[in-house]
Amino acid sequence: MSYDKVEVPEEGEAIEFDGEELSVPNTPVIPIIYGDGIGVDVAPAAQIVLEAAANATGRDIAWMRVYAGEAANERYGEGEHLPNETVEAFEQFHVGIKGPLTTPVGAGFRSLNVALRKKLDLYANVRPTYHLNGVPSPVSHPEQMDMVSFRENTEDVYAGIEWEAGTDEAEEVREFVEEEMGFDSTIHDGPVGIGIKPISEFGTKRLVRRAIDYALENDRDSVTLVHKGNIMKFTEGAFRDWGYEVAEEEYGEEVITEDTLWEERDGEAPEDAVVVNDRIADNMLQQILTRTDEYDILALPNLNGDYLSDACGAQIGGLGIAPGANFGEGRCLAEPVHGSAPKYAGQDKVNPTAMILSGRLMLEYLGWDEAADLVRDAVEQTIESGTVTYDLERQIEGGEKVATSEFADAIVENIEELA
């Protein structure tokens, strides 16, 4: 495949996927989007850390710079926020990483993050939340937080089906809902915006299946289906029911439900089995704070997943620490949870930890577990030493404030010492 405005590195090889397994060369080509705002600072910092971890384990990364957002607009022309070349690069090379992309609120183009996830069918947004020693936290026991959120990435509010208040289309939908469907007292008079949130059996089951598989492969104890099914019975309630169907019909004795646990086993879970339970979303928001250590893997529709994973991130020091990645069949696109923070762009100031730890997820997906562990350990060691960016330095007594690039250099030094 040829590219017009991006360069494929000569020294790298493409990752292959045969429908079941990845074949990863020692020097894979990895597309990277720096992104908007602080992406120009955190993405290069992540690159040098991830490359150092790869090198320390006898491998290398051939970076392929691709473009989205404002950088794409400048390179490809006005209005080209997500060029076809960028999407094609991730399709061809299977695994990549991106920085934050700005999404306008209320008007303008829809989210580029969502567009990439949909075009590549990256249906699972996975956000591990764990505390690193030395990171200040607003809670007393941040070490109790060790959850992984599996957030559905293609449906619910991210399907983007809505009509603007005052338009003919919105009025047509209102008339249909009121006159044809009989919901005559549901919608207030006057202009009204209307949206639809689809949640499908197919989308739900493949997400829950991925969450349960992860729990089994990583010796986790439970998977919790988080929903608002007491109110939204045919969407979020269906998410719950379809999730239980996967647990009950596809896994045999490896997986049991919470009802079975108490009705047949008096609360004693069998060894090496995963317990699937469910919680109402608003209740879960307080339980992750009050009963943090009782939860493990969360499977959630899109909007619930956004709220809950951010709330989890707050307990371990904020979104500047929180990693994430999007997964499909034979695809991974790592990205930090935080936004683009344009007012800090280019200042070599912000914390790149979330981007670096998102890259750690990418390394794990490649099967480079030793390199991934080096990244985590070196980041933690650097923070514990008090060598941190401004956001953490102001909370740590005796901390040393360093620039984004200096923080990355310090992590690289620790990787070399740990290797």
Q: Is position 4 annotated in a ligand binding site?
A: no
Q: Is position 405 annotated in a ligand binding site?
A: no
Is the pLDDT at 15 greater than 80? The verdict is yes
Is the pLDDT at 107 greater than 50? The verdict is no
Mean pLDDT value of segment 2-13: 92
306 catalytically annotated:
yes
Which residues are 282's β-sheet partners? none
- Active-site position among 36, 306, 349, 391: 306
- Active-site position among 76, 123, 158, 365: 158
Percentage of residues of the chain with pLDDT beyond 90: 79
Mean pLDDT value of segment 232-241: 97
Is the pLDDT at 109 greater than 60? The verdict is no
Q: Is position 240 annotated in a ligand binding site?
A: no
Range ranked top by mean pLDDT from 163-167, 193-197, 207-211 = 207-211
Here the tokens at position 195 are: 């949206």
Show the DSSP H helices in 251-301 as ranges. Answer: 258-265, 281-290
Q: Is position 376 annotated in a ligand binding site?
A: no
228 catalytically annotated:
yes
Is the pLDDT at 105 greater than 50? The verdict is no
Residues 147 and 268 in one domain: yes
Residue that is written with structure tokens 């919901």 in the block: 183
Residues 285 and 150 in one domain: yes
Q: Is position 339 annotated in a ligand binding site?
A: yes
Terminal Cα-to-Cα distance of the chain (whole angstroms)? 37
Range of the domain at 50: 1-132+319-418
Residues 306 and 228 in one domain: yes
Helix (H, G, I), strand (E, B) or coil at 326: strand
Q: Is position 343 annotated in a ligand binding site?
A: yes
Residue that is written with structure tokens 């990355």 in the block: 408
Mean pLDDT value of segment 282-310: 96
- Active-site position among 282, 296, 310, 409: 282
Supply the DSSP symbol for 24.
-
Q: Among residues 281, 316, 351, which one ends one of the domains?
A: 316
**Residue 331 banded pLDDT, cuts 50, 70, 90:** very high
Q: What angle do CA 128, 133, 45 make, to 5 degrees?
A: 65
Is the pLDDT at 265 greater than 60? The verdict is yes
Q: Among residues 270, 294, 316, which one ends one of the domains?
A: 316
Task: Report the pLDDT value the prediction gives residue 41, as an integer from 0 to 100.
Answer: 97
Range ranked top by mean pLDDT from 52-66, 73-87, 173-187 = 52-66
Task: Report the pLDDT value the prediction gives residue 268, as an integer from 0 to 100.
Answer: 78
Distance in angstroms (rounded) separating the CA atoms of residues 118 and 96: 15
Residues 284 and 406 in one domain: no
Residues 243 and 308 in one domain: yes
- Active-site position among 76, 123, 228, 349: 228
Show the DSSP H helices in 3-108 as ranges. Answer: 39-56, 70-76, 84-93
Q: Is position 79 annotated in a ligand binding site?
A: no
The pTM of the whole model exceeds 0.85? yes
Residues 240 and 370 in one domain: no
Residues 273 and 217 in one domain: yes
Mean pLDDT value of segment 198-213: 97
Mean pLDDT is lowest, of 243-247, 262-266, 320-324, for 262-266
Residues 227 and 362 in one domain: no
CATH code for position 246: 3.40.718.10
Query: For the chain, how many structural domains are there in total?
Result: 3
Mean pLDDT value of segment 7-11: 93
Q: Report pLDDT digits (tens) over 380-407.
A: 999 999 999 999 999 998 999 999 999 9
Q: Among residues 316, 332, 366, which one ends one of the domains?
A: 316
Give the residue with greater pLDDT, 357 vs 183.
Answer: 357
Q: Is position 342 annotated in a ligand binding site?
A: yes
Residues 180 and 204 in one domain: no
Q: Are 83 and 72 in contact (CB under 8 A)?
A: yes
Q: Is position 117 annotated in a ligand binding site?
A: yes
Give the residue with greater pLDDT, 188 vs 220.
Answer: 220
Task: Report the pLDDT value the prediction gives residue 110, as an integer from 0 to 100.
Answer: 60
Q: Is position 111 annotated in a ligand binding site?
A: yes
156 catalytically annotated:
no
282 catalytically annotated:
yes
Is the pLDDT at 108 greater than 50? The verdict is no
Q: Is position 344 annotated in a ligand binding site?
A: yes
Mean pLDDT is lowest, of 159-163, 228-232, 311-315, 412-416, for 159-163
Is the pLDDT at 106 greater than 70? The verdict is no
Residues 111 and 247 in one domain: no
Residues 152 and 292 in one domain: yes
**Residue 12 banded pLDDT, cuts 50, 70, 90:** very high
Mean pLDDT value of segment 39-51: 97
Q: Is position 123 annotated in a ligand binding site?
A: no
Q: Is position 151 annotated in a ligand binding site?
A: yes
Instruction: Name the phi and psi angles at 369, rounded to 5.
Output: -65, -35
**Residue 317 banded pLDDT, cuts 50, 70, 90:** very high
Which residues are 388's β-sheet partners? 401
Supply the DSSP symbol for 229.
T
Give the residue with greater pLDDT, 206 vs 340.
Answer: 206
Mean pLDDT is lowest, of 60-69, 156-165, 304-313, 357-366, for 156-165
Residues 364 and 374 in one domain: yes
Distance in angstroms (rounded) separating the CA atoms of residues 215 and 218: 5
